[in-house]
Structure 1
Amino acid sequence: MAAAGSPTPATRETPWPVGLMSEKIAAWIDRLGQVWIEGEITQWQLRGGHVYGKLKDLGQDATVSFTVWRSVAQRLTSDFAQGDRVVALVKPNFWVKGGTLTVQVFELSHVGLGELLERLERLRRQLQQEGLFDPSRKRPLPFLPGLIGLVTGRDSDAEKDVIRNATLRWPGVRFKLHYAAVQGDRAAGEVAAGIEALDRDPEVEVIVVARGGGDFQNLLPFSDERVVRAAASATTPLVSAIGHEADRPLLDEVADLRASTPTDAAKRIVPDVSEELAGIDQARARMSGRLGQLLAHETDRIAQLRGRPALAMPERIVDERAEELVRWVARGTELAERAVLERTAALAESRARLAALSPRATLERGYAIAQLRAADGSPGAVLRDPADAPAGTAIRLSLAGGRLAVTSAAAAEG
């Protein structure tokens, strides 16, 4: 007998309604709760901020539809696409009305290679936000480093390529080698230690980290945070020569220079001696040509100067100036004599006028100047009226020939 509240067992005579069966299926599935599942995304469609897709089993032919609501999709830290292998925290839901099974996704992340890529992408964004990839941090390489530090695998092709090609370009180049594992668990720590050791050496002027390519997983040590931060902290310019174009490790982003291969690194860190010698020869030829042109120009100028009359017959200038000097001397003498004669005549004329105006000339014509005579014999006032000299007055007469002392007599009448 069935328990109270339980539906009657389904029989041919008492079948369940479809809705009842669907509700039971939904109840059983709902009791499963949230579970982690793994699979491959075979469909990924974004509509209205929600994601609708399908997840396929990795080993057998089994597929389930899933839904990622907008609130969950906005929290996803990486991009997903068809073909990605993922793990998801889901809750199965059975839609009674449509009779379909879907799962609601609460968490989603890559696994395997996808997980590695997701982790690397997070590290890349973090380092980029810290400014470690900023072009302004990159330092120029020295033109000709005296000592090159090389971090590479022991007896590796990368070591031989760098040393051989650098030596061919500049035979006197010197290297300081630091051997490290370039793949595997020890690689990241040993490469970071090699960078730090060479950076501490004051003679090392540039550091090269070299590896001869490889697949993505072999190159993972060169994206390790320890290696990247060691390269970013180095004060010595650093060249990354990992040799893989498809998958660039993070070391390429932080290095001061990225070389496509170890051979390319050798070409970038030292100049080509033959090219430099050719450049010197060209510079020397240009200097010689320019100097030759300058000398030829100056020689022509000197020849032109020497061809001028002043330099061809310098005595001509002396003769011309001598004749001119003689003319000026004669002219000066003539002008001086004329000036003397003119001044002599003027002086004579002035003397004549002065003599004509002189009192002496009047005295020579028979006139005399009468002056009262003081008691001490000195001349006094000039007499102009006889009344000024009564009888007995001492008078001094000035004549043309000299002076006379006289005494006045009584004035005559009438």
Structure 2
Amino acid sequence: MTSFETVEGQTPPPDSVHPRESSPQAPTSVSRLNETIRDFVQRWNSVWVEGEVTSWNVRGGHVFGRLKDAASDAAISFRLWSSTLQRLPEKIAVGDRVVACVKPDYFVKSGDFTFTVSSMRHTGLGDHLERLERLRSQLRAEGLFDPARKRPIPFLPHVVGLITGERSDAEKDVHRNAELRWPQVRFRTIHAAVQGDRCVPETIAALSALDADPEVDVIVIARGGGDPQTLLGFSDERLLRAVAAAATPVVSAIGHENDHPLLDDVADLRASTPTDAAKKVVPDVAEQRALVQQLRSRARSRLTQRLGHDIAQLEQLRSRPVLRDPESLLTGRAQEVWTLQSRGRDIVRRRMDAAATATAELRAALRALSPGATLARGYAIAHVGEGVIVRDASQAPAGTDVVVTVARGSFLARSDGELAADPGTAAAEAGGTSAEDRRMEP
């Protein structure tokens, strides 16, 4: 059988609910109704269906997802057991177009209707994923994903702009976690649709309003989790270009950890969840106080260490002999100067004594060779005329004025002529020595 139709004329199970068996006075139970639906659904056969995977969540080794019709918005939920997942020939991801063999299943306890997949194979990319990949390549080529163009998030924003759904869990998470970290944080929140046709225009309008507010330092676009189909608005090209053109830094906090719309790549900062966005945008006051205390402690320790080092150096310098007893250097130098002075004085004295002795010897030698010494022994020098020394008696005939020079002074005499020679004179002329000379000799 290739459809969900039952065999015509088949008898329903004995415990099934018949409309005529229930009434306002005797209603049937919910469990009996669900069991009837389950028994009815279990008679349907498996069917092969083609569609695009819009959700693929792995929990406990099993996959829970959704399959969407490429030509319309019709979708079904499916469940893939871990044993079946291990038999798949290739890896399946969100956005893939697949062909799956499914069998309907109805859960009595929860009243959920889903399809159990017994086989699935990959046939290509889905239309949405293909369009997203083309847009991703285009924006990357234009440089909108370049980290160099992303603006830094301010350390402590004065006002945080928040774009999110009205009365949403994302808004509560951002406010609660931000206020826990920094109680004085202020928000300016603009509510916008976070899915559907109104999502993109309302988000762009809210972004434009917050970007024009000079008090807003950072803008957070937040939304709770959802299947990729509901997050398509945050991969819209119009919204992405508006975020890239904004002057205020934008933080993307869309979905859960595994959700990754294109807004995450264009925004200045990606947060995995709205809670994570609050932690990244607002600093933790306790952490900052601890950091300040740590820095103060490090500065105090460093300053104490530096002062201790300088004090130790000063003590070391003061302990040196030249600084401990500065006069010792002068005393040693003074003794050296006194010694050198004494040596210099002795040397000068010895040299002066030697010079005096030499001078005396020279004086004695000069005196011995000087004519004055001869004159001191009684000799005289006679001069006539213009200082001519009389060496011969004939030079002073009678009547000649003669100047006689003796040891002490000179006097004028007049010659009476030459005297007759006597024996003493003859001996002297002959080179002998007179008796007077012998008396004068030492």
Identify the TM-score tier after normalising by the shorter chain.
0.5 to 0.7
Matched AA of 2:355:
A
Cα distance in 2 for partners of 1:168, 1:176 equals: 17
1:333-344 to structure 2, matched below 5 A, reads: 336=345, 339-340=348-349, 342-344=351-353
Q: Please give the per-residue CA displacement for 1:147-195, whole angstroms capped at 9, x wherever unaligned.
A: 2222223332222211210110111222232333322223212322333
* CA pair 356-364 structure 1, distance change in 2 beyond 3 A: farther
* CA pair 369-241 structure 1, distance change in 2 beyond 3 A: farther
The equivalent of 1:357 in structure 2 is 366
Cα distance in 2 for partners of 1:393, 1:279 equals: 133
CA contact (8 A) 1:167 1:173 kept: yes
Cα distance in 1 for partners of 2:309, 2:260 equals: 59
The correspondence for 1:400, drawn from 386, 407, 416, is: 407
CA shift, 1:263, in A, is 0.3
> Equivalent residue of 2:244, what SS?
helix
* CA pair 244-338 structure 1, distance change in 2 beyond 3 A: closer
Cα distance in 2 for partners of 1:393, 1:190 equals: 160
CA contact (8 A) 1:142 1:206 kept: yes
* CA pair 353-220 structure 1, distance change in 2 beyond 3 A: same
Stretches of structure 1 that go unaligned for 5 or more consecutive residues are: 1-38, 42-57, 59-78, 85-109, 375-379
The correspondence for 2:252, drawn from 227, 236, 240, is: 240
Matched, 1:284 2:293: no
TM-score (norm: length of structure 2): 0.55
CA contact (8 A) 1:369 1:397 kept: yes
Q: Which moved more, 1:242-251 or 1:281-290?
A: 281-290
CA shift, 1:280, in A, is 2.7
1:175-190 to structure 2, matched below 5 A, reads: 175-190=187-202
The equivalent of 1:174 in structure 2 is 186
Matched, 1:116 2:123: no
CA contact (8 A) 1:386 1:411 kept: no
Q: Please give the per-residue CA displacement for 1:26-62, whole angstroms capped at 9, x wherever unaligned.
A: xxxxxxxxxxxxx959xxxxxxxxxxxxxxxx9xxxx
CA shift, 1:347, in A, is 1.6
1:139-178 to structure 2, matched below 5 A, reads: 139-178=151-190
* CA pair 174-370 structure 1, distance change in 2 beyond 3 A: farther
CA contact (8 A) 2:96 2:129 kept: no
CA contact (8 A) 1:355 1:361 kept: no
CA contact (8 A) 2:174 2:275 kept: yes
CA shift, 1:329, in A, is 4.5
Number of residue pairs the alignment of both structures matches? 305
CA contact (8 A) 2:163 2:192 kept: yes
> Equivalent residue of 1:278, what SS?
helix
> Equivalent residue of 1:213, what SS?
coil
Matched AA of 2:220:
V
CA contact (8 A) 1:389 1:408 kept: no
* CA pair 410-221 structure 1, distance change in 2 beyond 3 A: farther
* CA pair 324-134 structure 1, distance change in 2 beyond 3 A: closer
CA shift, 1:276, in A, is 1.9
* CA pair 186-310 structure 1, distance change in 2 beyond 3 A: same
TM-score (norm: length of structure 1): 0.58
Matched AA of 1:279:
L
The correspondence for 1:215, drawn from 227, 233, 242, is: 227
Cα distance in 1 for partners of 2:159, 2:145 equals: 26
Q: Please give the per-residue CA displacement for 1:85-139, whole angstroms capped at 9, x wherever unaligned.
A: xxxxxxxxxxxxxxxxxxxxxxxxx9xx933322222211111111111222223
* CA pair 384-201 structure 1, distance change in 2 beyond 3 A: farther
Cα distance in 1 for partners of 2:240, 2:385 equals: 136
> Equivalent residue of 1:205, what SS?
strand
* CA pair 342-303 structure 1, distance change in 2 beyond 3 A: closer
The correspondence for 1:275, drawn from 281, 284, 287, is: 287
> Equivalent residue of 2:126, what SS?
helix
Cα distance in 2 for partners of 1:235, 1:411 equals: 147
CA contact (8 A) 2:383 2:402 kept: yes
Stretches of structure 2 that go unaligned for 5 or more consecutive residues are: 1-48, 52-70, 72-94, 101-123, 421-428, 430-442
Q: Please give the per-residue CA displacement for 1:338-377, whole angstroms capped at 9, x wherever unaligned.
A: 7436514532431341343143444434455667765xxx
1:200-211 to structure 2, matched below 5 A, reads: 200-211=212-223
* CA pair 320-123 structure 1, distance change in 2 beyond 3 A: closer
* CA pair 228-332 structure 1, distance change in 2 beyond 3 A: same
* CA pair 351-398 structure 1, distance change in 2 beyond 3 A: farther
CA shift, 1:290, in A, is 4.8
The correspondence for 1:253, drawn from 227, 249, 265, is: 265
Cα distance in 1 for partners of 2:345, 2:366 equals: 31
Cα distance in 1 for partners of 2:149, 2:210 equals: 20
Cα distance in 1 for partners of 2:342, 2:304 equals: 58
